[in-house]
Amino acid sequence: MMGIKRNYTFFLKLLICLMLPVAVHAQSQQPENPYPPANYPDRIVLNVTQDPSTSLAVNWRTQKGIAAGSAEIMRAASDPAETTKATAVKAKTETVVHDQVVANYHSAVFTGLEVNTLYMYRVGQGQYWSEWFHVRTAGKPGDKLSFIYMGDVQQGMRTFWPRVIREAYTKMPDARLIMYAGDIVNRGRNDHEWGELFYGGGFIHSTIPGMMSPGNHEHADNAAGVNEITGLWRPQFTLPENGPEGLEETCYYSDIQGVRFISLNSQAIWFGGEGMQKQIDWLESILTNNPNRWTCVVFHHPVYSVKANRDNENLREKFQPVFNKYKIDLVLQGHDHAYGRGMQKIPMPGTKDASPTMYVVSMSGSKMYANDKPAWADKSVGHLQLYQLITIDGKTLSYRSYTATGELFDAFDLIKRKGKTNKLINLK
């Protein structure tokens, strides 16, 4: 009897040992889809419209069984019972199959909003709703304006970048928009990476409207060899469609409190051809008729590069003359994974004057390159995660660049002068 018991114990231990490696291996495997769509809305993101003082756009995602969506909005109230007064907006819904993930993407645009007013909104359907978010509409032209600028996120979206966007939000919770200078993710066709981005930004995506400009990593060659933007871009974001035909929601503008913000699609520019000329003609048209005091342009590939082995000569030859002609105040870029900014050392062709435009290249994610100390830059650095906080108050544009740990790295003011180029005041 004792022999049978010992044999039983032996075989039981043997069975456990044989099973243990399998169990441990199974636990160590990454889930096939760590960010699956669900009944409850996720990837909730606000975007700028042409006029964010009276309208706002919102997008979100659900699993395919949630066939419709709605967004509700009202002036912010402290009494939860008052939410019965919220106005409902039916969402546009489309089923998207991408990267072997099937999901329904929903979008809604709130219109008829009041200027500089705190609203609360939520998105969902039936019993599946998001929390209520607060958002303030933009003010009127001339009101003090604050906004955030992020260079390439691209890598470290879930690990290193969250601290950067949280630091920026902590220092500037009243920002009216966040500008992204392309390469927001590393592989635009990879649903997993977009999941990491939305995880990393959390509720901030849902409370400050984003102004997204695409980079080369949001593009890839299709089966026919044509370079095109990821199929997730337009379902995932609702951006102004006031740009050139064929470049909708990548090339557009938004007027906010006396500033014309312009996104260009520099991937189409970089490839040249029709995409470039379309944007030049369109840019001329919206700068000729620009009622705003300030103008800020964002795109991905730099006019002046921080890296010695990168030179976007085609882009510079075609677009810098337009920037000079209309005295664009600020050009915000990414791509080089290092930091540089300058205007004093950039000459105006045919004159002894310096550039009327401040050019900035920055990065916010964890992919880092060395600083090649470019001759055009007044200040440059490599291997730092940075974010930029910019405030425009009347005739003064105040620019501050901070490290991921909250230390001031770079600072300058631009002073608007009638009939002259902006006066640069270096502060750091």
Q: Cα dihedral angle (198, 178, 146, 292), rounded to 10 degrees?
A: -150
**Residue 222 has what pLDDT?**
84
> Whole-number mean pLDDT of the chain?
91
Q: Quick check: 123 pLDDT over 50?
A: yes
Going from the N-terminus, what domains does the chain have, and what CATH number goes with each?
Answer: 42-136 (2.60.40.380), 145-426 (3.60.21.10)
Residue with tokens 């470049």: 247
Q: Quick check: 27 pLDDT over 80?
A: no
Amino acid found at 347? P
Q: Quick check: 163 pLDDT over 80?
A: yes
Q: Quick check: 93 pLDDT over 80?
A: yes
**Residue 271 has what pLDDT?**
62
Averaged pLDDT for residues 249-260? 98
The region that residue 327 occupies, defined by phi over 0 for left and psi between -120 and 50 for alpha, beta otherwise, is left
Cα separation, 294 vs 261, in Å, equals: 9
Quickly list H helices, 260-390: 266-270, 274-288, 313-325
Cα separation, 284 vs 268, in Å, equals: 17
Residue 413 tokens read as: 């003011």
**Residue 309 has what pLDDT?**
87
pLDDT grade for 22, boundaries at 50, 70 and 90: very low
Say if strands 386-393 and 56-62 run parallel, antiparallel, or are unpaired.
Answer: unpaired
**Residue 31 has what pLDDT?**
52
The region that residue 326 occupies, defined by phi over 0 for left and psi between -120 and 50 for alpha, beta otherwise, is alpha
**Residue 270 has what pLDDT?**
65
Size (the chain), residues: 428
pTM: 0.91
Measured in degrees and rounded to the nearest 5, phi and psi for residue 281 equal -65, -45
Least confident window among 218-227, 320-329, 402-411, 415-424 = 218-227
Amino acid found at 82? E
pLDDT grade for 5, boundaries at 50, 70 and 90: very low
The gap between the terminal CA atoms of the chain, to the nearest Å, is: 86
Q: Quick check: 194 pLDDT over 70?
A: yes
**Residue 7 has what pLDDT?**
52
**Do residues 165 and 151 make contact, with C-beta atoms less than 8 angstroms apart?**
no
